Structure 1
Amino acid sequence: MLLPDKESITVAYAIDTGEVESFGKIGTTKTEIDRLCKRLKSKSARVRVVYEAGPCGYSLYRHLIDRGFDCMVCAPSLIPKKPGERVKTDRRDAVKLVRSLRAGDLSAVYVPGVEDEAFRDLARAWASTRDDLRQARQRLKSFLLAHDVRYTGRADWSEAHRRWLSSYSFANTWQQLAFEEHRRTIDDRLAQCLRLETALREAVVNWRFYPVVLALQAMRGVQFVTAIGMVSELGDLSRFTHPRQLMAWLGVTPSEHSSGNRRRQGSITKTGNSYARKLLVEAAWSYRHGARVARQIQVRHEGLPKAIIDRAWDAQLRLCQRYRKLVARGKNANIAVVAVARELAGFIWDIARLAMDLALPHDVQSA
């Protein structure tokens, strides 16, 4: 019924089985929204509200829920669309939402709690800063390569590499200034990363999904960065009643176009959360090698229940074998890893469920 944007909200409504009518546009202030709520309640005792998920977040959803409305945030990419439809306006979209809601054709978006969303914002800020740091380092490397300045060792930002960078200087004053600015950008991003990581490690202990973050780190390829990113994006995994639902939400299930007796499957759908899918696939690459419990994993196992450690070991045995079988059948390594990532999502779902059921103590420290 609502189509919110930055400056206005387009409204359409229908009473019972009557015709869909356009209400027009209103402002985005709470006063104008409350006035709309009163007018809608005067038309019917029970009001259902729906609007598209967008850049304005979930404040409107929470405001309507507080006012006693039955509200749903729907996924814009899953709204039915006619193939020949070429005219798009806010009014048409609002009317279409009402008709789709009546027909039951809309898919709801998971709305996190206020605390969960705040923690996710902090985790996303950390992820964005890490990306900025990576790009800043790449810019400096490109700058040095353009001027044929080469480091003889391994340019992996180790202590020796950073010491060489700090001692190098250009003969030209302008080039030296540009070089120093590139270095300062890296130092600033690195300090920002450390601040955010420290804040996350302090905050996660008081988060309700802290047991899940700890339990996921028992798995191979899932360290603190991956566990924090996955859980903050996924939220409450209990909303997935079956691991296949989580696989579909992550977009790692194969697409399909079947008709009659012919079944055709294509590449993965890549729907849902792209950042969580990226972390999942990165974790899946670690299962290319044989199953073993490295020293780093042993440290992360300390204080965890045996049931979670055993399930993580089952995942290693299963996924490492799965990768070898797929490669032996001639599958490309990238395709094999995505298949492993799909099954890894199932183990993540199971271990997260175990962690919440066992209620891990908060005195267990994350590695």
Structure 2
Amino acid sequence: MEHIRFVGLDIHKQRISVAVAESGRSGSVEYLGEIANDADAISKLCDRLRRSSKRLTFCYEAGPCGYGVHRQLTSLGHRCDVVAPSLDSEEARRSGEDEPPRRHHARPPQSGRRVDARVGARSDHEAMRDLVRLRSVVRQVVTRARQHLQGFLLRHGRKHERGTAWRMAYRRWLSTLAFEHPAQQIAFQDYVDAVMDAERRLQQVEEQILSLLPEWNQRPVVDALQAMRGIALINAVVLVADVGDFTRFSNPRQLMAYFGWSLASNRVARPSGAAASPRPATPMPGSALVEGAWAYRMRPRIGRHKVDRIEALPKVVRDIGWKAQVRLCTRYRRLSARGENANVVVAAIAREMVGFIWSIACTVQSAPKAA
């Protein structure tokens, strides 16, 4: 029987904590201490641990430090699993363990442990994901800038009575405002300029995403997801960039749980008396799904802009998109007729959208590649 040495890592910005367990051991895990988080220290650790001619298997939890340690360890010929943090913490809670991550990861892997499948060599996908995350940050800047301006206007009793905020009529109304004191006028104009600058920055980031999209190897999946009502180009990019390989989920419920739209977290869908899940939705795709879910309050139809976008897609993909429209529009009306809160209805629709998204993405990603 081959002997394997399992090495658990707890990675931080400056230091890495290390624990080791031998294969076949059911007892304690040995804590080796800390090393510096740099390439030389990691190489020396590998040399020290493999002196006994045992195969090394590393494991650590995905975090803000990225996948640099994983790439170095695999380049040295070792196996390294990067565990999704939410799933790994759930496993620890179910088992009743209360120990540092380094010790938990050093134990021989359980069959239910799921590895973060987005790990790999530096790729176009990782680069696109970074750009999508930048867009999310800039959108938050836009939202905060708008809130600051509206808070200023509210303090001074300036209210726009008609229409929706930030449409053309609202912006024209802003251009007519004036304040008596020079300091107030300066503050008002600075708030307006902050909104304009943030919106311009967001537009530039989205233009960069669109310019790089034709070279992205996930472009076919992005195109296919637009067969779904409520999912336009940018939202499709957000979903694909976050998930990557949809086929790593064996069924749509696993993808729903990944997004936070599990059965237990949905008040409409879960059985009476079931506890709600404490884990929130994944921020970026979660908001994209909620935005898209509002579109199903209308009757099923394929608009002209959607026809132009999906006419080149495979028939099986178009059929899934239409099936989603018929089902989700009907469900939206039924839930609303029951008197459910609009936000609860949208959450239920967003959860079911994930199932159709999984079906479309897996159809495209599992299709044979053209020679």
Where on the TM-score scale, by shorter chain, does this alignment land: which range?
A: 0.7 to 0.9
Mapping for residues 96-245 of structure 1, pairs under 5 Å: 96-99=104-107, 101-102=108-109, 106-113=113-120, 114=122, 115-151=124-160, 153-154=162-163, 156-245=165-254
Distance 2:55 2:76 in 1: 12
Cα 1:329–1:165 change in 2 (3 A) is closer
How many residues align? The count is: 350
Post-superposition Cα deviations, 1:180-211, rounded to whole Å, max 9, x if no partner, equal 21111112111111111110001111111111
Q: Retained in 2: the 8 A contact 1:251–1:271?
A: yes
The AA in structure 1 aligned to 2:33 is G
Distance 1:240 1:60 in 2: 25
Supply the RMSD in Å over aligned alpha carbons. Answer: 2.7
Cα 1:130–1:57 change in 2 (3 A) is same
Mapping for residues 310-325 of structure 1, pairs under 5 Å: 310-325=319-334
Cα 1:331–1:169 change in 2 (3 A) is closer
- 1:216 Cα offset (Å): 1.0
Equivalent position of 1:78 in the other structure: 90
- 1:109 Cα offset (Å): 2.4
- 1:162 Cα offset (Å): 2.5
Partner SS for 1:293: coil
The AA in structure 2 aligned to 1:255 is A
Deviating more after overlay: 292-301 vs 221-230: 292-301
The AA in structure 2 aligned to 1:4 is I
Equivalent position of 1:364 in the other structure: none
Q: Retained in 2: the 8 A contact 1:129–1:193?
A: yes
Q: Retained in 1: the 8 A contact 2:260–2:279?
A: yes
Equivalent position of 1:249 in the other structure: 258
Structure 1 counterpart of 2:304, from 295, 298, 312: 295
Distance 2:244 2:178 in 1: 48
| Structure 1: 5+ residue stretches without partners | 257-261, 362-367
Matched, 1:61 2:73: no
Partner SS for 1:181: helix
Q: Retained in 2: the 8 A contact 1:252–1:268?
A: no
Equivalent position of 1:52 in the other structure: 61
Cα 1:124–1:3 change in 2 (3 A) is same
Q: Retained in 2: the 8 A contact 1:229–1:279?
A: yes
Mapping for residues 352-367 of structure 1, pairs under 5 Å: 352-356=361-365
Distance 1:206 1:186 in 2: 32
Distance 2:233 2:329 in 1: 22
Structure 2 counterpart of 1:275, from 273, 279, 284: 284
Cα 1:7–1:217 change in 2 (3 A) is same
TM-score of the superposed pair, with normalisation by structure 2:
0.85
TM-score of the superposed pair, with normalisation by structure 1:
0.86
Equivalent position of 1:339 in the other structure: 348
Partner SS for 2:59: strand
Equivalent position of 2:3 in the other structure: none
Post-superposition Cα deviations, 1:255-308, rounded to whole Å, max 9, x if no partner, equal 29xxxxx99523356456233223223312221222111233223224323332
Q: Retained in 2: the 8 A contact 1:253–1:269?
A: no
Distance 1:309 1:124 in 2: 29
The AA in structure 2 aligned to 1:318 is R
Distance 2:160 2:249 in 1: 50
Structure 1 counterpart of 2:9, from 2, 11, 35: 2
The AA in structure 2 aligned to 1:231 is V
Cα 1:84–1:152 change in 2 (3 A) is closer
Deviating more after overlay: 196-205 vs 143-152: 143-152
| Structure 2: 5+ residue stretches without partners | 1-7, 266-270
Q: Retained in 2: the 8 A contact 1:217–1:227?
A: yes
Cα 1:164–1:286 change in 2 (3 A) is closer
Distance 1:315 1:360 in 2: 26
- 1:10 Cα offset (Å): 0.7
Post-superposition Cα deviations, 1:158-182, rounded to whole Å, max 9, x if no partner, equal 3343234234332212112211211
